[in-house]
Amino acid sequence: MTHAGEAHMKPLSPFAQIQTERLILRTPRPGDEHAIFAIHAHPETNQHNPAGPMKDLSEAQQRLSRWMEDWSVHGIGYWCISTRNDPQVIGVSGVRVMEWSGRQVLNLYYRYVPDAWGKGYATEAAKEAVKAANRHLPALPVVARTRPTNISSMRVAERAGLVRRPELDTAEHVVYAIGW
């Protein structure tokens, strides 16, 4: 027996929640704006971001809404990341559809609380994001754009399987990509 409205519900994306050896990668949901704000407002997580830290919770709510819409429209997007033994969100990672350099791409993203740095979490989640991208939207290239001074971000992109593409660099970004 179906309940009212069930016939119109989209099936849950197979990428909505993935478990790795150490992490849970799940779609963002209402209430995550506090974790998103804590991660994006922290000065250390914005060392390479010229816009600086996120200013207020409303900015986090707007981002959360966009990210939830990505999942609804594309069946893929950025995940909220926690460890398997603690539900506290420690990072945001994944791929989202965007227009860049005149074409539609999947932007590979990863940002974590400083306490999670150096443990390989960003690489672990980024590898899953690239796998999901290749299975779900194989026609779109996966691109990671990072500041030239962000060596850690470059290493994550490489470990996730992206290749340095200097011909795609911009004045602000060093670019890694696959499928371009």
Look at 3-17, 42-56, 58-72, 141-155 and tell me which has the smallest mean pLDDT: 3-17
Q: How many residues does this entry show for the chain?
A: 180
- The backbone torsions φ and ψ at residue 105, rounded to the nearest 5 degrees and listed phi first, read -135, 170
Which pLDDT score is estimated for 43?
85
Which pLDDT score is estimated for 132?
95
Domain boundaries, the chain: 15-178
pLDDT band, very low/low/confident/very high, at 120 (cuts 50, 70, 90): very high
Which pLDDT score is estimated for 109?
97
pLDDT above 80 for 8:
no
Considering Cα of 32, then 98, then 53, then 156, what sign does the dihedral take? positive
* Residue 162 near residue 177 (C-beta atoms within 8 A): yes
pLDDT above 50 for 27:
yes
pLDDT band, very low/low/confident/very high, at 7 (cuts 50, 70, 90): very low
pLDDT band, very low/low/confident/very high, at 51 (cuts 50, 70, 90): confident
> What's the pTM?
0.90
Which pLDDT score is estimated for 48?
85
pLDDT above 90 for 113:
yes
d(CA 3, CA 71): 23
- So what's the architecture of 15-178 in CATH? 3-Layer(aba) Sandwich (3.40)
Q: Please name every residue paired with 95 in a beta bridge, in sequence order, or none if there are none.
A: 108
Which pLDDT score is estimated for 11?
53
d(CA 5, CA 143): 37
